[in-house]
Amino acid sequence: IPSTFSEEGTTGMGSIVVILATDAPLLPHQCQRLAQRASIGIARTGGGTEDSSGDVFLAFATGNQDLPPADYARKDLPQSTPLRMLNNDHISPLFAAAAEAVEEAIVNVLLAGEDMRTEDGRLVPALKGERLLAALRETGWPGR
């Protein structure tokens, strides 16, 4: 079986960590659903599905901050506390916003890079906006 590894090592898709935050009143299972939408933004910018990719998506919500603090010493507290949650009938725009935010963050970070030199002195130029836009449009990226 021929080796798939080169002398210089292998290149893979890399990994990405996405953290989505919202002040919407979401419950944990809704945050999980929101985090899953990060993959849409990654796919829109050409992210792949290779085995070497180690992606992590996290989402949290701060919309229930008015909850009383735990006070285990008090026995007169109610056994339950009401929570607010975004009705699932209204969550789709939040999913779309999450995908768009991830897409925009990836494009922004690609354009934020600067020229740099490798250890052996080779120049690695920064990615120019025109070149990125042309590459994205070549793949069918709709852009905004």
Q: Is 6 a catalytic residue?
A: no
Which tokens is 113 given? 């890079």
Annotated catalytic residue, options 6, 23, 55, 115? 55
Distance CA(129)–CA(110), nearest Å, equals: 9
Annotated catalytic residue, options 3, 6, 52, 53? 53
Annotated catalytic residue, options 15, 23, 52, 92? 15
Is 1 exposed, middle or buried (CB count within 10 Å of its CB: 0-12, 13-18, 19+)? exposed
Q: Is 120 a catalytic residue?
A: no
| Short-list 19, 35, 45, 36, CA closest to 109 | 45
Q: What is the SS3 assignment for 135? A: helix
Active site residues: 15, 53, 55
